[in-house]
Structure 1
Amino acid sequence: MPPLESDKVGLHILLKLSALVIILAGIHAAADIIVPLLMALFFAIVLNPLVTWFIRRGVSRPLAISIVVFAMLIMLTLLIGVLAASMNEFLAMLPKYNKMLMQKVLEFERSIPLVHLRLSPERMLQRLDSEKVMAFATTLMTGLSGAMASILLLVMTVVFMLFEVRHVPYKLRFALSNPQVHIAGLHRALKGVTHYLALKTLISLWTGAIIWAGLVLMGVQFALMWGVLGFLLNYIPNIGSVLSAIPPMIQAFLFNGTYEMIMVGALFLAVHMVLGNIVEPRMMGRGLGMSTFVVFLSLLFWGWLLGPVGMLLSVPLTSVCKILMETTKGGAKLAILLGPGRPKSRLPG
């Protein structure tokens, strides 16, 4: 390759990378606008099969959308109301956590005389500053109450999306340069993401309900709050189930004891093993065609780009990008890198 031509290739790659950095910086800066739209799109994708189910049974589209959205609104309002009450009670008990944790650690030090931790109660109280924890929890409460104010806007956006979905194929036929290829890719992406989100939501509901019921039977406080946390974090692949188990285990250790903490951990482990490793793979089938490493990287990337919502939707967002890449010449090779590997039929032996 002549030097001049190689310089052009290098400059072309550099320009593409520069454009990508500018686009990502713009998305990161506009996260406050993009995140609500993504949440509305998430609800629209999950609710659209229900709307379709009503339409197939003779219900008109406006009435079907009204029924589904009204049910969603009631569930969200009840859930946020009950969760806000639980978090208020949790905030009131936060100052007790510091003293209990300090007592537990000091008891642990006295029970093992060979281990000289040399713990200072004064230093522990400084590090476990309850005011900082309460400030963080109060911020979460403020965001939760602010979510109530945003529900109406979210619901209206979902309604418009559900009305607009039937016109999307018609519009794309005239908007795209190569409609057959691109519409097929978009249809495959939408079908895969809808399948994933619907089943993931169902499995997450089972996860949250089982955790809530199990913690209630164990007598663990704030069982509903931890069940909701398990439901939400179950959307985060790989590490979500681990993160959801840590707070209730700490609480059980402080307020109940070591045995109760082990039982809570066993409950989360059993739910993850049964639903996450047995039920979910069988229901998902082939999944979205991404490697485990790519799923983990997408979790970090979308979490940095869009915050917690990006982590929750990291898998479907990456899947859509992968499928859309497959419809272009330049992105087809990159889409292969995001895939799980060679088909089983091509593997040697």
Structure 2
Amino acid sequence: MSDRAIPRALVMLLITAAAVVTLAGIKAIDTIVGPVVLALVLTIAVSPIRAWLTRRHAPGWLVVAVPLAVVIVGLLGMVAVLTVAVVQMAVLVPGYSNQFNKLVADAQSWAAAHGIAPQVSKALRSFDPGKIFEFAQGLLSSVLGVVSSLLLIVILLLAMSLDAPVISRIMSAASAERPAITTALTTFAHKTRRYLLVSTIFGLICAALDVVGLYVLHVPLPLLWGVVALITNYIPNIGFVIGLVPPALLALLTGGIRAMILVVIVYMVINIVVQSFIQPKFLGDAVGLSTTVTFLSLIIWATVLGPLGALLAIPLTLLTRALFIDSDPGAKWSGAFVSGEIPSERPRS
């Protein structure tokens, strides 16, 4: 008598329970997991530099030092720009209290003329310039928090850079005995690099155009909002909206509703045209994730790891897919649901 197979519903329930427990454990140590994943992604991003130096027979210390220096310079440059710009914003915002009060008075007058004064007054009471100033201070504290964790990220980058040549040799040696897992991890690294490259190029294009538009519209701190637009470009689906909110609110304070509408139009034209029509043609199948999976991954990883999880949502999902789906030859249909592509069938003889 053959053993009964485990019911599929029970298998799915166990998988779901294991996923929930795993995510809860990751969330409990998010201050460690976040920097580790960021260091891993950055190490993968500069691996072509390491490979190029290796092919040129560069000394071992140079193979480690050059990619590490590229990453550290990029991180420090971005943190420096954010720190200076946020300090400027913290000084600048309190000066717009008079404009804010005028906007409140205009809104109350309009509400009174349309018979909805009580509702509008109740909503406006939740806003005041002090809260905007507190928001600016909160941004500055967040940036300083990144600086404080930068040492851990740099140490992790150094360790991973030292281990990268050894890991490459281990992967090459293991490809004969464990072809599925090595292929899956190699594909993960390739897709992560391509995703970061394409996202960075088009993020820089969008950020530069946004900065020009904000300069033309006389919105304060355009460089800050350009850097924010570049960073939020890595957040799938909703990143552009997150990057739009601060300059739109500042345009409202400095130039009124007309200026805010113009900022919204400029951002929508630039970001929708570039990210919706041009970028997908270059990105192609680099990600290999369906739209639904991409959006769900954003929600899940942002809940587990916070803002860093939102930035790393795509690489984290690609890593999860590589470990649990692509490494299993029998899970091709599970991969099809994740990627939204029907797997090719072998031709019948």
* Same topology, TM > 0.5: yes
Q: How does 1:157-236 map to 2 (within 5 A)?
A: 157-172=156-171, 178-236=177-235
Residues 133, 108 of structure 1: alpha-carbon distance in 2 compared, 3 angstrom cutoff? closer
Residues 88, 71 of structure 1: alpha-carbon distance in 2 compared, 3 angstrom cutoff? same
The reply to whether residue 237 of structure 1 matches residue 236 of structure 2 is: yes
Residues 341, 11 of structure 1: alpha-carbon distance in 2 compared, 3 angstrom cutoff? closer
**Take 2:112 and 2:15, find their aligned partners in 1: how far apart are those partners?**
62
The structural deviation recorded for 1:155 is 2.2
Letter in 1 for 2:78: L
**Take 1:258 and 1:131, find their aligned partners in 2: how far apart are those partners?**
21
Residues 61, 116 of structure 1: alpha-carbon distance in 2 compared, 3 angstrom cutoff? farther
The reply to whether residue 69 of structure 1 matches residue 46 of structure 2 is: no
Aligned twin of 2:328 = 328
Aligned twin of 2:318 = 319
Give the conservation status (yes or no) of the 8 Å contact 1:196–1:284.
Answer: yes
Letter in 2 for 1:328: D
CA RMSD of aligned residues (A): 3.3
Letter in 2 for 1:139: G
Give the conservation status (yes or no) of the 8 Å contact 1:98–1:125.
Answer: no
Q: How does 1:144-159 map to 2 (within 5 A)?
A: 144-159=143-158
**TM-score for the superposition, normalised by structure 2:** 0.84
Aligned twin of 2:82 = 83
Give the conservation status (yes or no) of the 8 Å contact 1:48–1:162.
Answer: no
Aligned twin of 1:118 = 117
**Residue segments in structure 2 that go unaligned for 5+ positions in a row:** none
RCO higher in 1 or 2 (8 Å CA, sep ≥ 6)?
Answer: 2
Give the conservation status (yes or no) of the 8 Å contact 1:109–1:115.
Answer: no
Give the conservation status (yes or no) of the 8 Å contact 1:233–1:312.
Answer: yes
3-state SS of 1:127 partner: coil
**Take 2:130 and 2:100, find their aligned partners in 1: how far apart are those partners?**
15
CA deviations on 1:108-146 (whole Å, 9 max, x unpaired) are 454587522315998567411444444443233223123
The structural deviation recorded for 1:231 is 0.7
Could you tell which deviates more after superposition, 77-86 or 184-193? 77-86
3-state SS of 1:268 partner: helix
Tell me the matched-pair count.
Answer: 344
**Take 1:56 and 1:178, find their aligned partners in 2: how far apart are those partners?**
26
The structural deviation recorded for 1:341 is 3.7
3-state SS of 2:286 partner: coil
Letter in 2 for 1:292: T
The structural deviation recorded for 1:270 is 2.3
Residues 106, 88 of structure 1: alpha-carbon distance in 2 compared, 3 angstrom cutoff? same
CA deviations on 1:189-231 (whole Å, 9 max, x unpaired) are 2111111112212222222222223312332101111111111
Aligned twin of 2:248 = 249
3-state SS of 1:39 partner: helix
Aligned twin of 1:338 = 338
**Take 2:256 and 2:131, find their aligned partners in 1: how far apart are those partners?**
25
Letter in 2 for 1:155: V
Letter in 1 for 2:198: L
Could you tell which deviates more after superposition, 206-215 or 62-71? 62-71
3-state SS of 2:240 partner: helix
**TM-score for the superposition, normalised by structure 1:** 0.84
Aligned twin of 1:273 = 272
Letter in 2 for 1:81: A
Residues 20, 93 of structure 1: alpha-carbon distance in 2 compared, 3 angstrom cutoff? same
The structural deviation recorded for 1:181 is 1.6
Residues 115, 169 of structure 1: alpha-carbon distance in 2 compared, 3 angstrom cutoff? same
CA deviations on 1:45-96 (whole Å, 9 max, x unpaired) are 2222233345445644532543343344344334323322221222234345
3-state SS of 1:257 partner: helix
Aligned twin of 2:127 = 128
